[in-house]
Chain A
């Protein structure tokens, strides 16, 4: 069966007159239908740029995108702007950290959902209205009927997030992209939205790619996790296994630095140094300058993905390569 998402050697550069940023430097992965992948990484590692590539949302003039990106059978690298407009919304859609980037402040929530549906389907006004109401109920907005007439600024933060989700789901996409949608929310609201997304994913049978810098969020929602560093997936695997026993030294460092209930009274482990400047692509392992286990071979070439167990892989030469390598 063809995967829902098929990405090979995705590279994204931003080129302007006086600078080049190598934001994504060769990302490979597949996503099965109904699967949830979390992309976990620190700021600037290329999470959002990767996600936006799956809808070709990076600014066209500046962006050089190469490699293979197939979503629901569509080739996102070569397809025309015209067919992109059809794909966006009905095959793949996206939610963001800040709902106001996706909501239009001068139209009511109901109007925005109706218009999104009617852009993709020939449907009567009444049917669109009914679907809009169903969607607000689906995302568990209380007094949904009344809220159809509300403007975005009239809603609380949590309700706005739900309204944005309703719009993103209005054309029943097969793939939902989520860029830190709960990062700005308070704890009691964040867990509501996470559980809602988990339920919607199951009920609608969607694939989800969820970008986060928060390990706890990944633990609540992911089937698989990909850890991103300097524009590459440096480790990928099932969420439980990866959290229990990360393979890559960067993933180990990131997990060790995460403050959680069990670490009280212990000194936090830290990672020395800072991520590389992305003006050039490092020729070897991008983490080598910060790595406690570095050896000359690390600098010679970018480590290939090595898979010690089926389903897990890391780009580190110290990781044994046993399983017949699937994509990582």
Chain B
């Protein structure tokens, strides 16, 4: 792990609290319903169930990939975790401590959890030089200007940009890939423990994407980080993740080790999503689309299992019962009645007597 020189006490990574077995982040029953308003009076005419009762852990030192199609609630989840949005209900626990309300203060929490967004441009202040952008947050946290600037230059170096050349530049003078490197440097400035990366390479060209992915893997080791890596790109998620969480219409469909999920998905949605990837082999092209139609609208999601309207295995019981996450194998959970013993689905395992 890199020990940066000339940094004051406040810039060291805060120590582990609960030990390696305790998850770094625990999400419990997190829910966000956006009111839909219409008309002059802004009367509420329904809700968008963007995120609906999701629970998962992010383990210390891992990369958890969060994957799903657009609109399934990935960004809302990341903004809830960053406390940029007020949840409708649910809680966020960081290294055993609740966030807010008598637990960790937001300031303490945000030092340890930082975020990188897809849009590299809008997340940088256009009037600040690159160096000042990176030095900004440490300044807010009471680091003297000179140490903050030295630190900014060290971070520029760490993300592969020459501080003398790039430090004085403004965001509009940089390419998309360079701006994303700056965003990563800025996110690292407070020595966080957890980075939330929301589609960090989705706007980049392939050759630049590869550079940034290599960089993220290097930095994870050097800085002792844990990643929540959000993407709609199944290949990228497979490449970076230790475990993968699949979302569909605001809910968790499946979670498990990356190889388990990619080699043997338990949820029919995950299987269809994986089968939708182009084959990468012109001699073995796809012949049939695995799913028909677009995902339904989170304003009026289907009752019971939200995937049932597109699922080949749907039965009457799927409309009645929202499937809970049930064990599908070692470390592997899936929210499908075919996995839940005794669920009433014809393909469900029988209950042990």
Contact = CB atoms under 8 A, between A and B. Distances in A.
A256, A259, A261 interface centre (most CB from chain B within 10 Å): A259
B281 A219 contact: yes
Contact of B293 (A158, A191, A271): A158
Query: Of residues B207, B281, B294, which shows the largest number of chain A Cβ atoms within 10 Å of its Cβ?
Result: B207
Contacts of A189: 69, 294
Contact of A192 (B217, B239, B277, B292): B292
B234 A215 contact: no
A188 B282 contact: no
Interface residues of A, number: 43
B164 interface: no
B273 A214 contact: no
Interface stretch (A63-71, A128-136, A172-180, A262-270): A262-270
Interface string A237-266: 001100100000000011011111101100
Given A187-B273, A261-B235, A220 B206 contact: no
Given A213-B206, A240-B283, A188 B291 contact: yes
B97 interface: no
A186 B276 CA distance: 9
B262 interface: yes
B207 to A, nearest CB: 4
Given A240-B282, A261-B262, A268 B294 contact: no
Contacts of B272: 188
A284 interface: no
Interface in B223-262: 232-236, 238-239, 258, 262
A328 B106 CA distance: 61
A238 to B, nearest CB: 8
Interface in A133-159: 142, 156-159
Nearest to B288: A195
B282 A259 contact: no
A274 interface: yes
Contacts of A271: 207
Contacts of A259: 209-210, 213, 233, 235-236, 239
A253 B213 contact: no
Given A186-B70, A259-B235, A270 B210 contact: yes
A324 to B, nearest CB: 26
A115 interface: no
A275 B62 CA distance: 35
B300 interface: no
Nearest to A274: B175
Given A43-B205, A188-B272, A270 B283 contact: no
Query: What is the interface of chain A mostly: helix, strand, loop, or mixed?
Result: helix
B205 A213 contact: yes
A190 interface: yes
A42 interface: yes
A156 B280 contact: no
Nearest to A273: B207
A258 B236 CA distance: 9
Contacts of A194: 278, 286
Question: Main SS of chain B's interface residues?
Answer: loop
B280 A187 contact: no
Contact of B282 (A142, A243, A260, A268): A243
Nearest to B213: A268
Nearest to B237: A259
Interface in B145-185: 175
A60 interface: no
A94 interface: no
Given A220-B285, A254-B207, A260-B235, A191 B214 contact: no
A156 B235 contact: no
Contacts of A59: none
B279 interface: yes
Interface string B120-151: 00000000000000000000000000000000
B280 A260 contact: yes
A42 B205 CA distance: 6
B289 interface: yes
B145 to A, nearest CB: 32
Nearest to A190: B276
B278 A217 contact: yes
Interface of A: 42-43, 142, 156-159, 186-192, 194-195, 213-217, 219-220, 222, 239-240, 243, 253-254, 256-261, 263-264, 267-271, 274
A-B pairs with lowest CB-CB distance, top 3: A216-B278, A257-B210, A186-B69
Interface of B: 69-70, 175, 205-207, 209-211, 213-214, 217, 232-236, 238-239, 258, 262, 272-273, 276-283, 285-295
Given A195-B289, A258-B206, 8 more contacts: A186-B294, A187-B69, A256-B210, A264-B238, A268-B214, A269-B210, A270-B211, A274-B175
